[in-house]
Chain A
């Protein structure tokens, strides 16, 4: 069992976050600036969408990045078309990771642009996927410039696990995060760094120490029964 525990520790260490049972994100997050605990990283994708305008009304459609980390959905007639025959929407991850004062982002920053503005009465639904390597975000933040200022957007009810949703009536920069002054939501620090190898060794020992007497007693019972 000790060997199996060590085998597991090695196998789980090579992939982030290690053991999980399908409740986490279906695929690893693609980071612009991967956190130190992330394993192998692929760069985040961008996305492009062309929306048809029929009889002066833009179609319902969704723009998304190829890795699905940002999805923005538009209602029929969501755009102010101004005689256009089609509308283009582009989603691009920002190539850098600015850290605005007082905020801690847990996703990449994405720029969403379109060739027409949104009808304020028909807000677009924006979904950001986040990683389970970081604490849950409390809000989606938006800005017209990555340098800020960033403002929090009203959060919609959560749909899929490890996603955060909001509604927007304008384009710009979007990222999910939480106020840096608040304790990170959903994380319990258990210590790190040099203490961890010791903790690992102790835990493996506990598995063996708890299992050994139980195993011996159970097998003695079986022998006695025979």
Chain B
């Protein structure tokens, strides 16, 4: 029940955000409000169940930097440069990436893990993450989106950590 409601809420927020962001001058508010709404889905979960914590913090940060670099690398390799997001969108990018990680690899992952264990959590959160990006991305990008989701979910499972996926996602969104 809780997992089902979470899925509905998160997908609704993501699809609304993507639709509203297409409207002239509404992109920034849509990203900021959408990011906050996604983050709200983690309310009520203990930090440890979300993969948040301070133990082995150095390794978590190092992992986040590495995940970010891997996510940005294909684009950097194509253009021999890291294209940077326009400064005005930086705050929105941080809000959305933190919100998405708290929602998908945080609350949804925890709810799905309760439901069917780690395989359901990894595959389910990846599938939902890909579905959530259907409206904001052209179809040909969804393979890369799914693969990024799988990588982040596998890190979440293997290391029981959400700090690195958050940091990696923030780096990737600031760059692209």
Residues of A within 8 A of B (CB): 1, 4-5, 7-24, 26-28, 35, 37, 132-136, 158-162, 184, 186-193, 196, 199-200, 203-204, 206-207, 210-211, 213-215, 217-219, 222
Contacts and interface: CB of A to CB of B under 8 A. Distances in A.
Contacts, number: 200
A220 to B, nearest CB: 11
A187 B176 CA distance: 11
Nearest to A28: B138
Contact of B77 (A11, A192, A222): A192
Interface stretch (B1-9, B39-47, B109-117, B146-154): B146-154
Contact of A24 (B71, B80, B140, B176): B176
| 10 nearest CB pairs, A to B | A192-B80, A18-B74, A37-B78, A22-B136, A12-B74, A8-B147, A20-B176, A17-B75, A210-B63, A206-B66
Contacts of A186: 83-84, 86
B67 interface: yes
Contact of A22 (B63, B88, B137, B155): B137
Given A4-B154, A11-B147, A192-B80, 13 more contacts: A4-B147, A9-B74, A14-B144, A19-B74, A19-B144, A21-B172, A22-B136, A26-B136, A37-B78, A133-B83, A203-B69, A210-B164, A213-B59
A161 B89 contact: yes
Contact of B93 (A19, A23, A196): A23
A135 B141 CA distance: 21
Given A5-B151, A21-B93, A210 B79 contact: no
Interface residues of B, number: 65
Contacts of B96: 21-22
Given A22-B21, A133-B78, A136-B86, A203 B27 contact: no
B144 A26 contact: no
Most buried by A among B133, B155, B172: B155
Interface of B: 18, 21-22, 24-25, 27, 31, 56, 59-60, 62-63, 65-67, 69-86, 88-89, 92-93, 96-97, 100, 133, 136-138, 140-141, 143-148, 150-151, 154-155, 158-161, 164, 169, 172-173, 176
B81 A19 contact: no
A12 to B, nearest CB: 4
Most buried by B among A133, A204, A214, A217: A214
A210 to B, nearest CB: 4
Nearest to B146: A11
A8 to B, nearest CB: 4
Contacts of B31: 23
Contact of B155 (A1, A203, A213): A1
A159 B25 contact: yes
28 contacts: A1-B158, A8-B70, A8-B148, A13-B77, A14-B143, A15-B140, A18-B78, A19-B72, A19-B75, A21-B96, A21-B133, A22-B18, A22-B136, A23-B85, A23-B93, A23-B173, A23-B176, A132-B83, A158-B86, A161-B27, A187-B83, A207-B63, A207-B67, A210-B164, A211-B155, A213-B59, A219-B160, A222-B160
